Each structure stands twice: as C-alpha cells, then as structure tokens.
Structure 1
C-alpha cells in the first residue's frame, strides 16, 4: 500500500519534465513584463489577458510533449488544411474593417492565416528532411513555390503584416537548408536599390496621382507616412508621431510606472497592442528598453543553442526558423513603433495584448522545448 501513496513531488517532476528551465525563465520574465505594462496601458483587459496566458501556456506544455518526429508527420496535412482554409477565406470569408481575413465555421470565426505561421516552417522542415544530403537547386524552387502559395493568398486578403511573418518563417527554413549566397546577394542588392529609390524619390512617388501597382493605396500611404509623418500629423502620421514622442520623453530611466502622460492622456494609439513598446519606453526609459532587449537576446541565444545541437536535420531547421521568427516579431514591432519601419500591425512578442499571437508564439516555444527534450533523450540513450 505504501507504494501507491500520492507523491506530489513526483507529480510535479512529471509535469515539469518537458519544460526547458531557461526558456521558462525567459518566458516568465516576458509575461511578467506584459502583466506590469498591461496594468498601466489597459487595466480593464487584465482578466482576459490572464485567460490568454493560461491558454497559451497550456498549448506550450502540450506541444512540448510532442516529439519532433511525430510533429513532422502532421506537416503536410496541416499545410494542406491551412491552404484550403485560406482559399475558403477568399471564396466565403467575412469582411471586417475592409479586410477579408476570417472564416465562419459555425461555432466560431477563425483566421486561417495564423495557422500558416506554424504550418509553413513545419512543412518546409519536413520537405528538406526528405532531401537531406542531396538537396538540389530545383528543391529550393519547389520550396519557394510552397511558400508563395499561402503568402499570396494572405496578401490578397489583404494582411501585409501576417504575410510578411509567414514569408519570413519560410525563408528562414530555406536559408538554413543551404541556400547559396550567389542567390541571396542579388536579392539583397535589389532590395537595397528599391529601398534607396523610395527614400530618394519619396516626394515624387508619394504624390496622390502616382499608382504603385504592387501595393494597395493604404499600404502606399503607410510607406509615405514613414518617410514623412508630418505630411498628415493629425491623420496617418499621428500614430508614429505620438509613439516617437512617448519613446523620447522617457529619457534614461522613464517617468515611472503608470506615470506616462502619452499613455494616460490617450495620445498614444493602440497602446495595449501594437504600440505597447512605447508605453514601456515612456515609463521605464532606456533602461527598461535595454532590459527587454537583453531578455529577447537570451531567448534568441537559447533558441540557437537548441537549433545547433538538435538531433535531426528537420529539427535543426525548425528550431532555427522558430528562433528567427521571435527576432522578426520583435524587430518589426520595435522598428515600426520607433518610426524606422512602416506600421504593419505586428505585435511585440509575448508582451502585446491578444490571444492568437500569444498562443502561436508559445506553440513555437513548445516546439523548441520538444526539440531540446528529444536531444537530451537521444544523448542519454
């Protein structure tokens, strides 16, 4: 009978077994910062954000138990489902705020583009796993086509922010799979030339009668607003102007928690979601921003460590891509809030209010934990 006694210590160890302590430390710091900032930016949303935390952490814990090999078995079906749902959005999707991004499945509405943030790197990691050691140029072409299909369907919704994140997730896998620098350098050169041309000819290109062809009018205006926010200070440029004022006014140590004037006098728009970094910079200053950057850096270092020592080719590609996705979220959000990138609606990872992005990001953390756990098991066997 003594052997059947309830042992809480053993139960706790079993519960914590799939969790990586360093990743949990980083995640705890980020979610703690999110909770503190939310109390200042939007205290009425604390209860719902707490529910988001619980759901996201639960999803992460479940994902950490799934082995990478088993996870890869779902790559093709998940990718196919995501593409079919994106096609469904194009044919039957609901329109809200001028965008057709949601699909009503009866019990609830879903945004299928979010599925592709996980399905895309998973699919390409599985694809290159099948060709390990014999990758040819045609394989990179096929991988690019697999990437362009969902990205194109997301672009036409339109949802530029999500399309960039999905595209980045896929491109990271393609790069880590061994894409030649001979192909990368010309693309980077074209990008630099294009950006330089926009900056140089901004006044001409931003005239009302100039059609950019490849971008919708509102997307053109976002770029033009970035080049000169004072062009429309009370309209399109309002977000960037108020955000940069908040960041600059924080100084070295900030105005103090819940003392931010831009935040509490409602000058700062979307302060609980896309622009929450401006809240942090105003109230905690440069010191707070550097601490947050250091926390993200620790997340990236741990992610790349897991990727470098992952036991299989696919898990290395997947871990590297997931880690770079965290970097992309943070870089794009901080860039747009600081006025060096256009506003594209990308949340600050693990900090901004919202459930969908938080669950997606925590699933990525769970995948990293799963890969690390598989490495430790392989080493001990």
Structure 2
C-alpha cells in the first residue's frame, strides 16, 4: 500500500472516528431527555423480569439509529475529499454509500413501525427483502461477482471455482432477512440485544482492520465508515439498556442493526464471513424453528420467568399434548430429548418443556441465574464464538482454500 492509499484510508477514518465520538456523547445526552417524551406517547413497557411495575420507555433504539444515520449523512462528502466539490465523483462508490443508507433507513422505519403497530411475523420477513433490493441492484451493477472458490476436497469434482449466478443473490437476500431478525429473536433480557450487537460490530471492525492491508482495502474502508459510528451510538444505548434497564431498545434497534451488518457484509464483499460472527444467533434460530414455525406451541413471550424470592431467572415453559403434534414436530422434540437440550415433564396427559431459545437452554443447563449475570454469560458465549469465527476465517480457510 503506497502513501496515497494510506492517506485515502487515514484521513477519512480519522474524521469518521471524531464524528463517532461526537455521536456517542450526543446519544448519551439525548436519551435521558427523550425518556418522558416516549412515555407520554405511550411507547413504554413493563419489565417482566423485575419486581416493580415501573414504566420503561420503549423503542429508544430509534434515537440511536437516527443519530447514527445523521452522522453518516454529514460524513457523505468526506470520503471523496476535494473530488466531491470539483465534480469528480466516483459514482460507483457514491451510489454504494447512498444505497446502503437507503436500506438502513428503510429498516429503521420498519422497526419503529413494528414497535408502534406490532406487525405480524410475515411482514417482518417480507419487508427486509424489499429493503435489501437497493443493495442487490448496486451489487449487480458495480460488481456482479457470483463466483465462489471451491474447498480443496471438492475441487476434483467441481473445479477451482463455481458460478452460483442468481443463487448468490438469493443468498445475499436471505442474509439481509436473517441479520435483521436474528438479533430480535435472541432478546428479552436487559442489555442482550445491544450487547450481542456490540460484540458483532467490534468483531467486524477487527476483521476489516486486518483486511485493510489487502487489495480490497476500499471495500473494507467502506465497511468501517458504517461500523465505527454504529458502534459508538450503540455503546451509548448500551449504557442505558444495561441492567437495570432505564430504556428498552425495541425492534427498531434490532432491525437497523441487522441491516447495517448485512450492508457491510454485502457491499464489503465478505457476506459469508459476516455469518461467522452470528454463530450464537444461527444456533438460536435453528433451536427456535419448532416454535417459530408452530410445530410446537409458541407462547407470545418466551422470556425466562422471574423467581421473585431469589431474584433470579428460570426457564419459561410451554405445554402441549404430544399426540397433537405433527410427525415433524414429534421427530424434532424426540431429537431434542436425545441430545438433552429440552426439559421434558409429563403431567395429566400434557407435556411441559422449556421454550426453545438459547436463553432458556443456558438456564436449563446452569439453573436459575440473576439477570445481569445471565446477560454476561451469554455475551461471553458470543465472544467465544467470535474467537472461533476468526479461527475458521484464517487458519482453517488457509488450509481449505489457500487464502
């Protein structure tokens, strides 16, 4: 990397970091000021895992999201330097930036609409697909690279590379849907939504910094432009969302967070690597499938239950008749029983099991736990999985791909 390239990375990144620091302190200052405004607008909830029934302002993620977006709006001229004012704009980079902002704005709007209107799940799955279309169109126009490298053991049959064509675009669209919903599914205790997102964003920042020395440094610089202010504003939100939560982040935060990760993964050309940092979310989604698709009865809330005497959380349960399950439902619960990842209790012809979430599984294994400790435990799992992701991405990728 020559001096010019170092300057093109260094100066915009310095400005981005400075603006992110300002965004952090702005978010820290504004959240307490807007708490009562949200409560007056009937955007509040009761913390079901607390002994009190105090009103907690809901959907404060929209505030951190707006500051995050405003920071990026103000940052738009910076990466292009003097070229922006001289009319010498690299249109491909400019369109990438605008399409990324458009997709994140769309998901912020969807998240806030969900917090206010309580949208159905089919809408939550459909709308991220629409919001990801600007990304996929820009990717098609600017790159249209749908070729993947085949792992060594399969090269004898498939060759060195395989062109997936439209399947690759379907994968990227599904990535956007998964990212926007995965954080929302693994949620429900103080600090968990923002905490896991901070671990993921920090992991992606480290990955992009490592990759800046390569030939694709522009793509990784682009990703950092989004991840640094996102992390700064989320860190401020985390301060108020940590136990005991003074604010709830709402679906707004989960959706724009997921879309931000999808944006940097798709336009930064590391969509497959992005998934590596979602290992706990992937496990939680697979574990939750029986209830998400109603193969097993799914209550409205799958949050752990509070033992008010001990001030600890315990597993929440669902009740059903075994014979009422479909063949597939019976097969899955029997597999879960074999691997002992669900509680199984039969009483008066009914079966009582824990709800199928990673949070309940941890409580099933460890026993009742204080809420703050449980959040820390789950974030440690996220960090351990991040270390595993880096091992898969570098030492193992070198063995299987020579990269």
TM class by smaller structure: 0.3 to 0.5
Tell me the TM-score normalised to structure 1 length.
0.33
Tell me the TM-score normalised to structure 2 length.
0.31
Answer 1 or 2: higher relative contact order, Cα 8 Å, separation at least 6.
1
Q: Which has the higher strand share?
A: 2
